A and B are shown apart, each in its own frame.
Chain A
């Protein structure tokens, strides 16, 4: 089974500042998909951003962007201009292009300081 590692259990950022959450994964596949999900206190899982391994350009969604380093098997999430509403648990996830299962990291709890 693939392994997804989030080495930062907790992170904090000042409001309006930038923060980067790290994610690494272990795979022998060449084509796969990577995702970042946000889980606010409401518990609802919300897709933040996604990336396909074959696309060299890093994905961007408004204030959220990724730094995808395929050779290093790294998929970090950058949140710019942090807002109070960004406070949540963030999960990194992996799916092989040929697979049905998703593999999740253990999550990073992000606190936004006013």
Chain B
């Protein structure tokens, strides 16, 4: 199985800050990498697919990059609604696997 490791597991930031979350795959997954945001008590929302493609309707402050084993999610200017948990996911091989999550908290 492909293990997905996210870092950090949590971070504190302020509205307007730029943050970067990283995700590392235990083996190469090309660009088969997605990012989700999950607000408390809600279902996850797709932000980025194939590593760098912005899902329709997602604000441009979100961006993704990477290929192979190392990926990043960048939020250029945090908004109040971005204080949530973020997950990466690989769709390269079965079983599909998620990273452990990164909780973004208000400083």
**Do these two chains interact?**
no
Name A residues whose Cβ lies closer than 8 Å to a Cβ of B.
Answer: none
Name B residues whose Cβ lies closer than 8 Å to a Cβ of A.
Answer: none
